[in-house]
């Protein structure tokens, strides 16, 4: 069965500092990987996705993520965090053997200190 683990429930960083959110997945084939962001009271917005090809993917709002097959990881990074990045971030995995179903991690809530 597929699964996603986001080890950090909460993370606090200072504005301007770098950010890395961890995501580990379990999947029986080549995975499709996603990062979504959810602001309070809002739906989920796609930040970036990995289907194949270059293992370093660029997304919106200055985010990037790196797919590491050997570590079953897809960590999200941003070099300099802005106060508006405070939100909850979800990693998700899907792929061909699961039809089009996604499994989401439990989320990481990011707080940004001024």
Q: Is 46 in the site for other proteins (CB under 8 A)?
A: yes
- Please identify, using beta-carbon distances, which residue of 15 and 103 lies nearer to other proteins: 103
DSSP 92: E
Q: Is 100 in the site for other proteins (CB under 8 A)?
A: yes
Q: Is 106 in the site for other proteins (CB under 8 A)?
A: yes
Q: Is 44 in the site for other proteins (CB under 8 A)?
A: yes
Please tell me the distance from the alpha carbon of residue 27 to that of residue 108, in angstroms, as a whole number.
21
CB within 8 Å of 103: residues ≥ 6 apart:
2, 3, 4, 92, 93, 94
> Pick from 90, 93, 110, 112: which binds other proteins (CB under 8 A)?
90
Q: Is 89 in the site for other proteins (CB under 8 A)?
A: no
Tell me the sheet residues that pair with 5: 24
């Amino acid at each position: 069965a597929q699964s996603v683990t986001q080890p950090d429930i909460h993370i606090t960083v200072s504005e301007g500092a770098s950010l890395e959110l961890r995501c580990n997945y379990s999947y029986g084939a080549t995975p499709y990987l996603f990062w979504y962001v959810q602001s309070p009271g809002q739906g989920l917005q796609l930040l970036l996705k990995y289907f194949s090809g270059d293992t370093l993917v660029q997304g919106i709002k200055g985010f990037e993520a790196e797919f590491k097959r050997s570590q079953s990881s897809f960590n999200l990074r941003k070099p300099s965090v802005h106060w508006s990045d405070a939100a909850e971030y979800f990693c998700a995995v899907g792929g061909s053997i699961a039809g089009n179903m996604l499994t989401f991690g439990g989320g990481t809530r990011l707080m940004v200190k001024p």
